[in-house]
Amino acid sequence: MEFLTWLEQTEFSTWLRESDWGHPIVLCFHAVGMGLVVGISFMYGARVLGYAKSFPLAAFDQLFGLAWFGFAMNAASGIVLLIAEPRRMPATPAFVIKMILIAFAGLSLWALARTLEGKERAPAGSAPTGAKTAAIASIVFWCGAIVAGRLIGYTIGPPPV
């Protein structure tokens, strides 16, 4: 707790809270990263669920590179946003729930990749039921993470005493 209080009082943390532009610019990065990660996950989920069967699953490999780039961008910008409010943020339930939902979304995509192992080189066609379940789970968890993320702004409380 002392560490968090110290962190909150650092020059960087204070600047993030008080400057006109620091916070919005970090949020810009966070929004672009979200578009990349969630957007590509949504398209991949749709493809696994049977949409655009002529689009080979293997073609997503290149897009995953971009999705990881977006994820790294959001991990970095997310840490900066956490540094801005190191005491209030972890005390906000919506923030904790968002982190859990992101972990679940990641696990779903990992499980999805496992179920497709060996099959993903097939040029086109249907994915197994397990893969479809994992695809639906990833879509639901990303939607949940976005809802929780938006709720942080509305429910973040005063700094804990």
Binding site for another protein (CB under 8 A): 17-18, 20-21, 23-25, 27-28, 30-32, 34-36, 38-43, 46, 51-52, 54-56, 58-59, 62-63, 66, 142-143, 146-147, 149-154, 156
Give the residue from 133, 101, 100, 103 showing the smallest Cα distance to 116: 133
Residue closer to another protein (CB basis): 55 or 104: 55
Nearer to another protein, 107 or 151 (CB): 151
Of the candidates 15, 14, 66, which has an alpha carbon nearest to the alpha carbon of residue 44? 66
CB of 123 to another protein, least distance (A): 10
DSSP 158: P
Shortest Cβ 49–another protein spacing (Å):
13
DSSP state, 118?
Answer: T
Judge contact between 145 and 98, C-beta under 8 A. Answer: yes
Cα distance between residue 152 and residue 52, in whole Å: 36
**Residue with smaller CB distance to another protein, 64 or 104:** 64
In the bound complex, what is the minimum distance in angstroms from residue 97's beta carbon to another protein?
A: 14
Sign of CA dihedral 76, 80, 83, 87: negative
Q: Which is nearer to another protein, 66 or 72 (CB)?
A: 66
The DSSP result for 70-81, as a single string, is HHHHHHHHHHHH
Tokens (6 digits) for 79: 């840490």
Nearest approach, Cβ of residue 108 and another protein (Å)? 16
Q: Which is nearer to another protein, 119 or 150 (CB)?
A: 150
Least distance between another protein and beta carbon 157 (Å): 12
